[in-house]
Amino acid sequence: KNEVEQSPQNLTAQEGEFITINCSYSVGISALHWLQQHPGGGIVSLFMLSSGKKKHGRLIATINIQEKHSSLHITASHPRDSAVYICAPNRSMEYGNKLVFGAGTILRVKS
Partner 1 sequence: SAVISQKPSRDICQRGTSLTIQCQVDSQVTMMFWYRQQPGQSLTLIATANQGSEATYESGFVIDKFPISRPNLTFSTLTVSNMSPEDSSIYLCSADPSTDTQYFGPGTRLTVL
Largest CA distance in the chain: 47
| Per CB under 8 A, 44 contacts partner 1 | yes
Residues with Cβ < 8 Å from 53, sequence gap 6 or more?
60, 61, 62, 63
Q: What are phi and psi of 80, to 5 degrees?
A: -70, -10
Residue from 12, 26, 45, 92 in contact with partner 1 (CB under 8 A): 45
Q: What's at 104, amino acid-wise?
A: G
Q: Which part of the chain contacts partner 1 (CB under 8 A), choosing from 13-21, 42-50, 53-61, 63-71?
A: 42-50
The single residue among 11, 32, 63, 86 that binds partner 1, judged by CB under 8 A, is 86
Choice from 43, 68, 69, 82 touching partner 1 (CB under 8 A): 43
Site mask, partner 1, residues 1-30, x = CB under 8 A? ------------------------------
- Binding flag, residue 65, partner 1 (CB under 8 A): no
First-to-last C-alpha distance (Å) of the chain: 37
When asked if residue 41 is in the footprint of partner 1 (CB under 8 A), the reply is yes
* Cα–Cα distance, 19 to 36 (Å, whole number): 14
Map residue 65 onto helix, strand or coil: coil
Query: Please, which residue, 57 or 96, has the CB nearer to partner 1?
Result: 96
